[in-house]
Amino acid sequence: KIEISELACFLVKAKKATYANKTNKVNSSRKESHDYSYQENNYTYLDSFFGAENFSGQEIVYKDEKPCLVYELLWKGYRGKL
């Protein structure tokens, strides 16, 4: 069972400990991706994105290292003039 408050606290810590601080960068999992990872207790957070001006990415949280996905966020953006 997943406690929502526990997951929310973990997500805040994970985001602050990865891309937001440019720390915990790991080897690219896919060609030209930028990947970050954070683990605490039985949760694992993975953030993977592509691009700079045009960009897209995915955040995933796993619990107990099982292939059971408990959180996912997909995003896409554009920085600059259209």
pLDDT in tens, 13-72: 999 999 888 899 999 999 999 999 999 999 999 999 998 888 999 999 998 887 667 788
Alpha-carbon gap, residue 74 to 43, rounded angstroms: 19
Q: Is 51 exposed, middle or buried (0-12, 13-18, 19+ CB in 10 A)?
A: middle
Between 80 and 47, whose confidence is greater? Answer: 47
d(Cα 30, Cα 35) in Å, to the nearest integer? 9
Please tell me which residue, 3 or 81, carries the higher pLDDT value: 3
Q: What is the predicted pLDDT for the residue at 38?
A: 97
The alpha helices in 1-82, defined as continuous H runs, are 4-16
pTM: 0.84
